[in-house]
Amino acid sequence: MSAGRNIRGAPIYATSTEPPAEGELYRTLEIEGVTLDIFYGYYDPERERGVLEPMPIFPDFQNDPTYTELGYMLVNADGDVCEHFSPKAEGSEEGWCNDCRYLELHDTCLGVCRCEQNRKNE
């Protein structure tokens, strides 16, 4: 569930500015038959613990590939682009999946890759 919309009308997924507790449930995502519980924590526990507020910890789909019922790949929006990358806007600054026009974002750092070449064949 989004926490409202940003100034361009896109849903805001992040919650309030109060720091959440580690291990607290951020949200449950349901994407084409795949259910994901996302919890707060630290990505780099050794370095980040005690530094500041924890963040939603998204699954690492690069190491644990996950596909929807329709065969589309779940991706981390901050992950490196693949060979089928097609920028959604000119002059994309970072080589992230977030810059790819095939990415359908479902949360700040998680989405579905709608590229047919990455689709899992049944």
Partner 1 sequence: MEYITVKQAAEKWGISARRVQVLCAQDRIKGVTRFGRSIMIPKDAPLPTAEQSEKNAPLPMPRKSPFLNMTDLYTRPGSAEEAIEALSDMPEAQTLFAAEIAYSRGEIDKVIEHASEFLQSHSGFYAVNAGGMLLALAAMWKGDISLYRQAKIHICEAPWKTPADKQIMSLSLACIDSAVRDTSNYPEWFERGQFEHLHPDSHPAAKVFYIKYLMIKAQEMAKGAFKLPDVTGLGLMKTIPYIAEPLISRVVAERVVIPEIHLRLITAAVYHQIGDDESAVMHIDKAIDLALPDRLFGILAEYRRNLDTVLDDRLILKDKDAFSATKELHRTMLASWIKLHNSLHSRNISSALTVREREISRLAAFGLSNMEIAKRLNISVSTVRKIILTAMNKTGTDKRRDLGAFV
Per CB under 8 A, residues contacting partner 1 are 6-10, 12-14, 17, 19, 43-44, 47-48, 51-53, 55, 58, 77-78, 89, 93-94, 96, 98, 108-109
Strands in 103-107's sheet, in edge-to-edge order, are: 73-76, 110-113, 103-107
Query: Considering beta carbons, is residue 105 or 119 the nearer one to partner 1?
Result: 105
Q: How far is the CB of 121 from partner 1 (least distance, A)?
A: 30
Q: Which helix (H) or strand (E) holds 38?
A: strand 34-41
Q: How far is the CB of 33 from partner 1 (least distance, A)?
A: 25
Query: Considering beta carbons, is residue 1 or 7 the nearer one to partner 1?
Result: 7
Measured from the Cβ of residue 79, the count of other Cβ atoms closer than 10 Å reads 20
CA 75 to chain centre: 7
Q: How far is the CB of 57 from partner 1 (least distance, A)?
A: 9
CA distance 105 to 107: 6
CA distance 26 to 14: 8
Q: How far is the CB of 79 from partner 1 (least distance, A)?
A: 9
Query: Considering beta carbons, is residue 88 or 120 the nearer one to partner 1?
Result: 88
